[in-house]
Amino acid sequence: MGNDPQGSARASPCIIYFHEGFSPYLPFTLWQACKSNPDARIILLGDSVNRIQGIPYEHHLLSDFKSRHQEFLESYRHFHPGHLGDERRCIQRWVYLSEFLKKQKIEQFLFLDSDMLLFRDVRETLLATQGYDAAGAPMFWAFCFFLKKNLVTDFTDWIFQQYRNPSVIDKWDAEFRRHLAGEKEQAGIIQDMALAKMFIEEKGIRVLDLTQPANGKIVDSGRLGGAFQHGRKDVDILFQQEAGGAVGTVIGGITLTLTAIHVAGFYKNHIAGLTGWSWPIVKSFFRPNYRRNIKQLFWYGLNGLRYRRYLRRRRCANSYEK
């Protein structure tokens, strides 16, 4: 049964972030979400050390939604060259999210990575989602509207089923060994987005790709937001007159408005150039570890200023290949 985009667009949207620990970019993300979507219910699934005072959002502790935590740890097998804790937690966040949604009785919502900045009212995007179960950038990556009831619960249950299936584990193990051996054929790694792709294909989930231009708007897949700090001149094509305001880019010679920008990558200290500053953001840096965070405040200020100057100069490009 399809969703009702007209009804969803009239209702106040629910926006959910997930983050553990304090990262200096997190207050900028929450501040920008509140500015661009003042009527939304904005939620952070976080912990005791990343509560941000002075920004109007809901803070929920992950520790209150861990009934399947041990069950997941016992089921998980690591088939990724990355750090075990990091990759496992990327998958485990879906377990936390599923329990949170059940307890809060939330059915439709936008789930975002904690470095995804919103610059438009997300209800505008909902109007284009009729007939879809979800709408992502792409799939469930970084920015995804979950429209079908219990879709996250179904995904979480499916993940548990895969880790408990010996034949699936044997297959993943063989593919991962080939990956480590440098083989390209039938090699692979398991991470949360690889699982999402398998789930979507197996269950026939209808997902709208929001990284494709529609009605003059687009959602960044992560190629644009981190380009400034990562030397990506081929995709470093953003312009913005006022911090926190509308952001544009040029794709195929056509000017488009960015609904959201993913500040992907290790370096994010230019983020202030896009959002601007507020007193709650400044105060958030004054917390343990003080020495490290004050140093971060300096770099966020300096690189934010550099990026702000850049963004005010309108960029042009003949093409942008996705």
Tens digits of residue pLDDT in 303-321: 999 999 999 986 544 433 4
Assess if residue 322 is contained within a domain.
no
Nearest-10 Cα torsion for 24, 25, 30, 31: 90
The pLDDT value given to residue 307 = 95
Instruction: Using the 3D structure, point to which of 179, 209, 239 is the last residue of a domain.
Output: 209
Listing DSSP states for 227-238 in one string gives HHHHT-TTT---
Q: How many domains does the chain have?
A: 2
Domain co-membership, 201 together with 226? no
Strand partners, 258: 218
**Residue 138: cis peptide before it, omega within 30 degrees of 0:** yes
Domain co-membership, 26 together with 145? yes
What range does the domain containing 223 cover? 217-311
Domain co-membership, 149 together with 106? yes
Domain co-membership, 126 together with 226? no
Assess if residue 147 is contained within a domain.
yes
Strand partners, 14: 41
Assess if residue 93 is contained within a domain.
yes
Region of 216 (left: φ > 0; alpha: ψ -120 to 50; beta: rest) is left
Assess if residue 56 is contained within a domain.
yes
Domain co-membership, 237 together with 185? no
CA distances from 220 to 286, 308, 316 (A): 31, 19, 17
> pTM, whole model, 2 decimals?
0.93
Domain co-membership, 182 together with 232? no
Instruction: Using the 3D structure, point to which of 167, 193, 209 is the last residue of a domain.
Output: 209
> What are the pLDDT tens digits along the chain (322 aa)?
456 655 555 689 999 999 999 999 999 999 999 999 999 999 999 999 999 999 999 999 999 999 999 999 999 999 999 999 999 999 999 999 999 999 999 999 999 999 999 999 999 999 999 999 999 999 999 999 999 999 999 999 999 999 999 999 999 999 999 999 999 888 899 999 999 999 999 999 999 999 999 999 999 999 999 988 888 887 889 999 999 999 999 988 899 999 999 999 889 999 999 999 999 999 999 999 899 999 999 999 999 999 999 999 865 444 334 3
Assess if residue 321 is contained within a domain.
no
CATH number of the domain to which 153 belongs: 3.90.550
Domain co-membership, 143 together with 194? yes
Q: Output DSSP code: residue 182.
A: T
Domain co-membership, 114 together with 27? yes
Assess if residue 278 is contained within a domain.
yes
Phi, psi of 146 (to 5 degrees): -100, 115
Instruction: Using the 3D structure, point to which of 150, 179, 209 is the last residue of a domain.
Output: 209
Domain co-membership, 138 together with 253? no
Domain co-membership, 130 together with 239? no
Domain co-membership, 89 together with 202? yes
Helix (H) or strand (E) holding 256: strand 254-262
What stretches of the chain show up as alpha helix (H) in DSSP?
5-10, 26-36, 69-75, 84-104, 123-126, 151-163, 166-180, 192-203, 227-230, 272-275, 279-284, 290-311
**DSSP-based three-state secondary structure for 17:** strand
Domain co-membership, 68 together with 202? yes
Assess if residue 35 is contained within a domain.
yes
Taken in order 274, 281, 46, 76, the sign of the CA dihedral is positive
Contact criterion met (CB below 8 Å) for 50 and 26: yes
Query: What's CA 119's distance to the chain center, in Å?
Result: 14
Assess if residue 64 is contained within a domain.
yes
Strands 41-46 and 207-209, sheet pairing:
unpaired
Sheet containing strand 134-136, strands side by side: 58-61, 41-46, 14-18, 109-112, 143-146, 134-136, 207-209
